[in-house]
Amino acid sequence: MSTTQKPYHFLIRRAHSLLGLVPIGLFLTFHMVLNLSARGGPEVYDKVIATMQGFPGIFIIELVVIFIPIAVHAIYGTWVVYSGQSNVLRYKYARNWFYIIQRISGLYTLVFITIHVYLMRFSEANFAALSEFLRQPVGLVFYTLGVIFAIFHFVNGLWAFAITWGITIGPHSQKIWLYALVVVFILLSGIGLANISAFL
């Protein structure tokens, strides 16, 4: 903690950091893997969506486990970007452009999630509707960037997370963690792109 940082501010930063992994990052991973069902075709995908939406108490679960954590993380994250704040500890280690892309990807993810949730949760949510959206070049670029930016933001965030929580303290452990995260980024991106291509 920097000497000028107030204790409550330190706690807010820790909460923001933790929310990025639990539940948001874990949900993102689960969501990507579940959407692989789209590769089985419209019937399989629509059945999976219907099963999920028919789950008892799904709205409350989504609200508590997904919407509220993302809203809290996004509101504080937007304030961090706006106020040009940086975690002194992290800034020393991270390369400058990773720091910048973390912020750009966070803002893009916010726009993407808002439109994605509107399309999939509050209007017609099925294979055909998403397929129609993705067949338009603008829709395809918007979704591809959204998926890649969200994954980048999560994975790059995990690098900072490990420093924030004192998990990777020295340069050696940070290097190993970096290699592991490159693999995670490639895997998740591969899954994300496979999901998108299933709708084309």
Binding site for ligand HEM (CB under 6 A): 17, 20-21, 24-25, 28, 73-74, 77-78, 80-81, 87, 90, 102-103, 106-107, 109-110, 150, 153-154, 157-158, 160-161, 164
Question: CA-to-CA distance for 193 and 144, rounded, in angstroms?
Answer: 7
CB of 48 to ligand HEM, least distance (A): 20
Q: Where are the alpha helices (DSSP H) in the chain?
A: 7-19, 26-34, 42-53, 58-61, 68-82, 88-93, 96-121, 127-134, 137-164, 171-198
| Nearer to ligand HEM among residue 46 and residue 185 (C-beta) | 185
Residues 157 and 99: beta-carbon distance below 8 Å: no
Contacts of 135 (CB under 8 A, 6+ apart): 199, 200
CB of 165 to ligand HEM, least distance (A): 7
CB of 151 to ligand HEM, least distance (A): 8
CB of 9 to ligand HEM, least distance (A): 11
For residue 185, what are its two tokens?
């980024």
CA 140 to chain centroid, in Å, comes to: 18
| Nearer to ligand HEM among residue 107 and residue 194 (C-beta) | 107
| Nearer to ligand HEM among residue 42 and residue 81 (C-beta) | 81
| Nearer to ligand HEM among residue 25 and residue 45 (C-beta) | 25
Which residue, among 126, 192, 128, 124, has the nearest Cα to 154 in the 3D structure?
A: 192
| Nearer to ligand HEM among residue 29 and residue 131 (C-beta) | 29
CB of 17 to ligand HEM, least distance (A): 3
